[in-house]
Structure formats: C-alpha cells, structure tokens
C-alpha cells in the first residue's frame, strides 16, 4: 500500500496516545499528544495547515479548511474525538485529500472505547 511505512508509524503513535489517555478528551488534547509521539518517531509533520478551496474556474478561493496534520508531505491525518465515526467524517476527510492534492489519508477517532481509524486512498 502506498506510504504504508508512514501510515503504520502514525497508527502506532495513535495507539500509544489512546492507550495512555483513553477516550473522553477533546480533540486538541489528542493532537498535542500525537505531536509528541510523531516527534519521537522523527516524522516530519505540519499541523493545521490552511488550504484554499476553489470552485470551478473562479480566480479566488471560496473558503478555506484546515487539516489536522500533513505528515512527511504525503499523508493527510484528520483526528476526531467522537463516539463513532459517521459517513460525513469520511466525506470530509476525502474532500480534504482532494483539496490538499494528496493520495493517502488517515481518519483517526480517539473518542470511542477502542481507537478506530480508516485508511483513505484517492
């Protein structure tokens, strides 16, 4: 699978965070803990990068969005801290992949009793 070396490290780091903190915190707490974990793995990441959203041939963006992380410039990571992932969260992550022009993403949920994640590929 494309970029599996990176996604495996991110997933492992996410399990470390969830094992330590459990569920029940706000998303930002998991973001900050994941920053520490990814740093320990020497993963290069950018956090909350704002991306312009364009529509058709309009010369100006119609809005912006922020993904939680882009790791190694190749993998988009979107975090959630909710009871259960829904289709709307998957659609959001897929739209982010398109907007950021990336092929691989992870949708990770820390809010359930067990860590859940989906690997996304365009």
Place of tokens 């950021």: 100
- How far does CA 21 lie from the centroid of its chain? 18
Residue 107 has pLDDT above 90, yes or no: yes
Per the structure, how many domains does the chain have?
Answer: 1
Q: What does the pLDDT average to over 63-72?
A: 93
pTM of the predicted structure, to 2 decimals:
0.91
Structural domain for 113, as ranges: 4-121
Residue 55 has pLDDT above 90, yes or no: no
DSSP per-residue string spanning 12-61 = HHHHHHHHHH-S-S-HHHHHHHHHHHHHHTT--EEEEEEEEE--TT-SS-
Average pLDDT, the chain: 95
Q: What does the pLDDT average to over 48-56?
A: 88
Residue 109 has pLDDT above 90, yes or no: yes
Which CATH number does the domain housing residue 72 bear?
3.40.1350
pLDDT band at 54 (very low <50, low <70, confident <90, very high): confident
């Amino acid at each position: 699978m494309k970029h599996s070396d990176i996604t495996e490290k991110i997933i492992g780091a996410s399990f470390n965070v969830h094992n330590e903190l459990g569920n029940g915190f706000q998303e930002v707490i998991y973001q900050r803990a994941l920053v520490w974990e990814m740093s320990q793995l020497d993963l290069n990441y950018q956090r909350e990068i704002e991306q312009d959203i364009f529509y058709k041939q309009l010369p100006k963006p119609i809005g912006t969005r922020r993904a939680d992380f882009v790791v190694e410039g190749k993998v988009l990571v979107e975090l959630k801290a909710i009871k259960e992932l829904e289709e709307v969260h998957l659609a959001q992550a897929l739209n982010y992949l398109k907007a950021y022009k990336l092929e691989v993403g992870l949708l990770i949920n820390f809010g359930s009793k067990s860590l859940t994640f989906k690997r996304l590929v365009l």
